[in-house]
Structure formats: structure tokens, C-alpha cells
Amino acid sequence: MTAVQGVGLGLRREMLEQMLQHKPEEIDFFEVAPENWIPFGGALQKQFMQLTEQHRFVCHGLSLSIGSPAPLDIQFVRQVKKFLQQHNISLYSEHLSYCSGAGHLYDLMPIPFTVEAVDYVAKRVQQVQDILEQTLILENVSYYAAPGQEMSELDFTLAVLEQADCKMLLDVNNIYVNAINHNYDPKHYLQAIPSERIAYYHIAGHYQQAEDLLIDTHGADVIDPVWRLLALAYQQHGVKPTLLERDFNIPSWQKLQQELKQIHCLQQQAEQTISNKQVE
């Protein structure tokens, strides 16, 4: 399976024909949710296959619901495995959260930050990895309440990564959003994550409801403090593949292009800094 590098963008169905004709040079790879493509066949599936044969892809799932009290959907995990193999996709990430119980919740719910939950989630991650025969990547999610909290978000995340022996999709915007909403130092969180656990990064915009309440929307421009946090991530953990998320209020291509170029610029600056240090 082919690895990815550089800068990525989430692929929307309406982009298919345009990207088949010409992929902009600012995009090194695409990200898709397997749930949005598995059900389709025919012409749409044929077009998608053409694109995955030509370009690099990663998968970022929506409905694995790794922390759910409901049993793991084994059939779905097997469908994902088949999809990854069919399209030669080596990275599959999901949210460190849950979105189902006695039905689908249509939102990402926070897993209680408890030792019991660490054990529960780690066992389910290991089960998924055994079926997929590859490492699962978990994303730190934004959350607005912490029911039954016994440990910090950071300690919970580190414990799951260690016990499940999985990788992390480090969402830089989510670190910033949670830091504002729950009053912690985003730099401390970022620096505490083991570099070897990080598979790739997400960066996105958010909505400011109040001074102490940010809502993760993927529907706005990335703000300066989040850009600076991404630059710090590169310094701390190295330059890794980075995906720009924009799901709502889609701007012009020129605007998206500016943000993609900004990621490229930060990566080049970090690589130059690392190279200079090695020379010294």
C-alpha cells in the first residue's frame, strides 16, 4: 500500500470530474470517509476508482463508534478492510469518540475520561486492528462536556494510545478548541504526545460562539493561533502529512489554494530548520 506525504484535502463527490481532469499541484493526497463511497457502484464507483489509481488517498471514518456501548459492527469493519484493499489505501483513521448507542446519534460524543473506558476502548481498537490487519489511527476530537471525568483528556488519550498500541491523527484545531473551552495549555498537550504515535495531522477552522466557547465546524478559515500551533507541531514532532478540512461554507478555489499553500510553506520552513540543525 502506498504511503502519503505533503498536503491533503478532503474529496467531495462534486469534485470528482474536476479532479479527474486536473489535480491541482497544491494537493498531494485526498481524504475520504469510506462510508460515503462503500454503498455506491456504477459510474460513480468507476470514477472514484480512476482517481484512487492515479493519486494517493487516506480514509477518515465517521461511524466506527469505537467508544460506543453497543457491540462493534464487525460486518462494517470487514467492509472497510475490503474498501482499503480495493483502493490501495494504507491509512485508516477514526474518532476517539462514539456516535451510536441504541441507534445512530449523528454527532461525536465524548467518551468518559476514566480508566474503565481506557480498557474498554483499547480492547475494541485491538479487535478492529486484528480484523483490518493494520494499525488503526485515532483522532483527538473536540468536546464540550466531560461526563464522569476521572482523568484529563490528555492522560486519557495517552493511555488509549499506549494500551491499544495504535496511532494518532493529531487534529491541531481540536487541540486549540478544547484548550479554550476547557482552559488548558494547547502547547503542553501538543508537546506531550509521543512523536512516534502521530500518523498525520488535521487542520481546520472553527466558529467562535463566545470568548470561552469555540465550536469545531470545519466551516471557516484557519486562524493564526492554529497556524502557529501547526508550526510548533512540525518543530516538536517532525513534518508529517497534513490535511486541510473544509466541510461547510466552501470558499473559492483561490481561497482554499491559499490555505494549502500555507501548509506547504510551514512544512518547507520546518524541514529547513531541521536540516540546519543537523548541519550544526
Q: What is the pLDDT averaged over residues 176-181?
A: 97
**3-state SS, residue 123:** helix
Say yes or no to pLDDT of 155 above 60: yes
pLDDT of residue 14: 86
With respect to residue 218, please indicate whether it lies within any of the assigned structural domains. Answer: yes
Which tens digits make up the pLDDT trace of 51-61?
999 999 999 99
Q: What is the pLDDT averaged over residues 155-172?
A: 98
d(CA 33, CA 10): 9
For helices 74-86 and 115-132, what crossing angle results, to 10°?
Answer: 50
**3-state SS, residue 132:** helix
pLDDT of residue 162: 98
Kindly state the helix (H) or strand (E) to which residue 195 belongs, with its residue range. Answer: none
Q: What is the pLDDT averaged over residues 211-232?
A: 93
Nearest one of 128, 198, 122, 186 to 154, comparing CA atoms:
186
Q: What is the pLDDT averaged over residues 80-101?
A: 90
- Residue 110: all three cell numbers together: 465524548
With respect to residue 2, please indicate whether it lies within any of the assigned structural domains. Answer: no
Task: Quote the domain boundaries for residue 201.
Answer: 7-279
Residue found by looking up cell 494518532 in the block: 168
Say yes or no to pLDDT of 146 above 50: yes
Distances (CA, A) of 242 to 76, 168, 193, 200, 257: 27, 13, 16, 6, 14
The residues, ordered by sequence, that sit 6+ positions from 190 with a Cβ below 8 Å of its Cβ are 170, 172, 175, 229, 232, 233, 236
Q: What is the pLDDT averaged over residues 225-243?
A: 97
Number of domains in the chain: 1
With respect to residue 217, please indicate whether it lies within any of the assigned structural domains. Answer: yes
What percent of the chain clears pLDDT 90, i.e. is strictly above it? 78
275 vs 74, more confident: 74
Question: In CATH, what number is assigned to the domain containing residue 258?
Answer: 3.20.20.150
d(CA 138, CA 93): 6
Residue count (the chain): 280
Torsion over CA: 197, 203, 208, 211 (sign): positive
Residue found by looking up cell 502529512 in the block: 241
With respect to residue 29, please indicate whether it lies within any of the assigned structural domains. Answer: yes
With respect to residue 23, please indicate whether it lies within any of the assigned structural domains. Answer: yes
Strands 98-100 and 92-95: what pairing?
Answer: unpaired
Q: What is the pLDDT averaged over residues 74-101?
A: 92
Nearest one of 179, 185, 85, 183 to 140, comparing CA atoms:
179
pTM for the model: 0.94
- Residue 99: all three cell numbers together: 456516535
Nearest one of 1, 7, 63, 66 to 31, comparing CA atoms:
7
